[in-house]
Structure 1
């Protein structure tokens, strides 16, 4: 379960970022709802997309976390973000 959470977070992190200090509640565990979309071709749920949008400002911090980076590819992160209609900032 923890591995899936990390994968989801990393995917979102790789999508784009803003300094984590700007973010209000950066908790990558909230992205667990995106595990299926990150680890398979299934589309993200509405709950997943809501969390991706909510956590967008946290992505740079997540991306810098080496533990999370090992679970999510940039391609998966970008795919999920795009499917959720989230534009990813550059860190």
Structure 2
């Protein structure tokens, strides 16, 4: 004989409530603006250590880096050895575009 599944609807409702409450909020969209990288100019251009502000900005702009690399005006700066060094110093992976 099979057992009755009288608790199934309540269990399903509980699982749906938990899933709705524990849902990860959507990521905020990033505004891709190369001007946001200004705190990193000294580190990229003059090989100085990146500031905390630079690293923070770089983290925020990370989804935009491939767009900047493809830009004919910005690409050589963003994809330069110094930019790779700055990303390493900030402990960020450099994108593969």
Q: Same fold (TM over 0.5)?
A: yes
* TM-score, structure 1 as length reference: 0.68
Structure 2 match to 1:36: 42
Structure with greater helix percent: 1
DSSP 3-state at the match of 2:35: helix
TM-score, structure 2 length as denominator?
0.64
- Higher relative CO (CA 8 A, sep ≥ 6), structure 1 or 2? 1
| Segments ≥4 residues shifted beyond 6 Å | none
Deviation track 1:16-73 (CA, whole Å, cap 9, x = no partner) reads xxxxxxx621111011011110111210000000000010010110000001124455
Unaligned runs of 5+ residues in structure 2 are 1-28
